[in-house]
Amino acid sequence: MIAKIGKGENLYGAISYNQKKIDSENGQVLLLNRIPETLDNTYSTAYLHQCFEPYLSANIKTEKPVRHISLNPDPTDRVSDGQFVEMAQEYMERMGYGKQPYIVFKHTDIERTHIHIVTVCVGLDGKKLPDSYDHPRSMAICRDLEQTYNLIPATEKQRTGNEQVFRPVDYRAGDVKSQIASVVRHLPKYYGYASLGAYNALLSLFNITAEEVKGELHGQPKNGLVYFALNEQGEKASNPFKASLFGKQAGLDELQNQFAQAKEKMKADPTRAVLKSTIEVAMHTATNEADFKKQLLEQGINTVVRRNDEGRIYGMTFIDHESRTVWNGSALDKKLSANVFNDWWNGQAVGQRQEAEKTTAQNQSPTAGNSTAVEREEAHALFNFLNKEQPTDDLWIDGLGGLLPEAQGEDYEEQAFANRMKKKKKHRKRGRQQ
């Protein structure tokens, strides 16, 4: 059984997401904990939201008081409603939410019947419930539930403790070739990806990109790959390195074999349904693009967005570090395609820009003329890198075998200034010697 814990601030969105499943006859309420039942056993989003209000009002300082949890047995497991209720109660009790109001929803819209639990992490006394190390605690509870209810164990990648620890390439540190080699020589052992775009999305987390090159050798067409280091804007920051420098597994022919194998394997991967559901929940509860990415990152999922020069999104890729698989949004579901996210986030940007213009016009001085100051939207990078606000749960990161790249904490502008000063000093010394 796989558990996912979403943390956010949009309680209404979390309840609404589950209510829509009920409205489409793909879901039902299995349990209400510390929430009054209605006479006809029907529940509106507004009613359920109202039941949490006293808890939310008692603590307005907690930024993300909402918890949206999903428990996902294997598709072949046969779990009764009574067993789902028992599992939910034990899980919530051991996670520290036993005395909290929570709702257990059952979803049947996919082959993997599963439950969602919506609750809050603040009590009536205004205190926030401790949630340190909730990921490893959740995993331990799931292992126990699997044994108790004879469920098929989750097919998580086994970690031996000897995994390669990957670090993002720093093109300023020198020996870029060795830095790239330490990633591309070993990455295929740990992750599955079905296309060059998915491979590049994963590489982008480590400040690397691969580019296909075409040419002729002895009159025969010949294709290959070259690798580049990237800077923090997603721009090429090194000379190209031929794939052959990093071994056979980094070359195009071997990668295409890996793509074909991964594509076939991922068709039946149970991770697909869980990941799709997790992303859909984040779409309903996130307030903007940054919040969406952060919610998923806290659940071990990186979001890589690719935009063209005009800012239009043409690629959405999700990297699940628990199952170590890389998925294009459209491969998960048409509703998770690049066009859907482009319309969503660009629509938000237009609305925010219009609101800013309206506010500026209202606050504008009569003597200021007709010019309107509109905040310029920054250009988007080729790839959006790992959110620099890492989860504070160090044990959770260790649980991923060190595979999550560390956020870079350097002040690059300050570093660039220092480098310029060093160069000036060298020029002065040379001048004095002459």
Q: CB neighbours of 168 closer than 8 A, spacing ≥ 6?
A: 205, 206, 207, 405, 406, 408
Structure tokens given for 294 = 């952060």
The residue to which tokens 């919610």 are assigned: 295
Please calculate the CA angle 125-131-132 and round it to the nearest 5 degrees.
135
**pLDDT value, residue 99:** 96
Local structure of 311: helix, strand or coil: coil
For the chain, the C-alpha Rg in angstroms (whole number) is: 25
Q: Which residues of the chain have pLDDT under 50?
A: 157-161, 365-418
**Is residue 134 within a helix (H) or strand (E), and if so which, with residue range?**
helix 134-148
**pLDDT value, residue 402:** 42
Domain boundaries, the chain: 2-155, 168-269+286-327+377-434
**pLDDT value, residue 412:** 36
**pLDDT value, residue 124:** 94
HSE-CB for 373 with a 13 A CA cutoff: 6
String of DSSP letters for 328-386? EHHHH-GGGSHHHHHHHHHHHHHHHHHHHHHHHHHH--GGGTT----PPPPPPPSS---
Contact status, residue 133 vs residue 396, Cβ threshold 8 Å: yes
Q: How far apart are CA 31 and CA 103, in angstroms?
A: 6
Q: CB neighbours of 57 closer than 8 A, spacing ≥ 6?
A: none
Burial of residue 383 (CB within 10 Å: 0-12, 13-18, 19+) is buried
**pLDDT value, residue 238:** 96
Structure tokens given for 103 = 């709702």
Q: How far apart are CA 405 and CA 385, in angstroms?
A: 10
Count helices and strands in the chain by DSSP H and E runs = 13, 11
Reference 91, options 57, 18, 83; nearest CA is 83
**Is residue 246 within a helix (H) or strand (E), and if so which, with residue range?**
none
Q: How far apart are CA 297 and CA 119, in angstroms?
A: 20
Give the CATH number of domain 2-155. 3.30.930.30
**pLDDT value, residue 354:** 62
Q: CB neighbours of 321 closer than 8 A, spacing ≥ 6?
A: 300, 301, 302, 400, 403, 404
**pLDDT value, residue 346:** 86
**pLDDT value, residue 220:** 75
Please tell me the pTM assigned to this model.
Answer: 0.76
**pLDDT value, residue 347:** 80
Give the count of beta carbons closer than 10 Å to the beta carbon of residue 210. 19
